[in-house]
Structure 1
Amino acid sequence: MDLIDENYVLTKTLPDYERFGLRTQMNRCSVSIASNISEGSSKRTDKHFLKYLDDSLGSAFEWETQLNICLRQGFISEERFKILEDKVQAVQSKISNFMSTLDA
């Protein structure tokens, strides 16, 4: 949820011409990370939960790629990029570690 909050702060600063591009995509990805975990937690088996965790992990990697685009396009500073990159990589690591504890 913290990553979602930080994402919305970031995407509000993106250029207007990115309103329906990068801004929308980053917002959808960040929300998808938490939403898939939440939805998956309602599933009755680890196998089904793992599918949602896998989708969540994919969204986290997609968001990291879009963060890299922001840096390359000069939309964010290197310092801000590093802070957010560390946060999303921590989320990726937590999801991956959690997935390894479930039975497939």
Structure 2
Amino acid sequence: MSENRFGFESLKVWEKSIQLVKFIYKLTSDFPKEEQYSLTSQIRRSAISIPSNIAEGTSRDSKKDKKRFYTIAYGSLMELVNQIIITKELSYISTESSQMVKDMAMEIAKMISGLKKSV
């Protein structure tokens, strides 16, 4: 019996973005309590926005709308990278963790760019 799936669920870029979200949640779980409603929340929101906008973009009928949502996903990815740099500077995460996020982000950025070009 095959599982019902939406079109976006078959996109590698969406799958990679979900992996990034899971990594971000684990990474931010040890942040200081005083950051719970500020930096932790903002980082998680940025991460969640990436696959969410990819999913929403796939549902749009016009090419212009699709590209707009993919562009928003890319912007959220850049926002996340910036926030990760800040958390590294604040010594909330290690250089290794920061680099892992940046490596994942680089791969996703290339995939989002490819997705935009394919529209």
What is the deviation of 1:45? Answer: 1.5
Matched, 1:56 2:89: no
Instruction: Specify every segment of 5 or more residues in structure 1 that has no aligned partner in the other structure, as ranges.
Output: none
Match of 2:32 in 1: 15
Deviation for aligned residue 1:63: 0.2
Task: Tell me the percent identity.
Answer: 28
Query: What is the RMSD computed on CA atoms of the aligned residues?
Result: 0.8
Q: How far off is 1:81 after superposition? A: 1.1
Kindly indicate whether residue 101 of structure 2 is the aligned counterpart of residue 92 of structure 1.
no
Aligned equivalents of 1:84, 1:52: Cα separation in 2:
22
Which residue of 76, 79, 89 maps to 2:96? 79
Q: Per-residue CA shift, 1:25-78, capped at 9, x if unaligned? A: 011111100000101111111111000000000000000000001110001111
Q: Tell me the matched-pair count.
A: 102
Aligned mates of 2:48, 2:33 — CA distance in 1: 21
**Local SS of the residue matching 1:41:** helix
TM-score normalised to structure 1 length: 0.94
In structure 1, how many angstroms separate the alpha carbons of the residues matched to 2:51 and 2:78?
13
TM-score (normalised: structure 2): 0.83
**Unmatched runs of 5 consecutive residues or more in structure 2:** 1-17
Counterpart residue type for residue 60 of structure 1: L
Alignment map for 1:26-37 (pairs within 5 Å): 26-37=43-54
Q: Determine the C-alpha separation between the residues in 2 that align with 1:32 and 1:45.
A: 21
Kindly state the Cα deviation for residue 101 of structure 1 after the two structures are TM-superposed.
2.1
Q: Matches of 1:2 and 1:83 in 2, distance apart?
A: 12
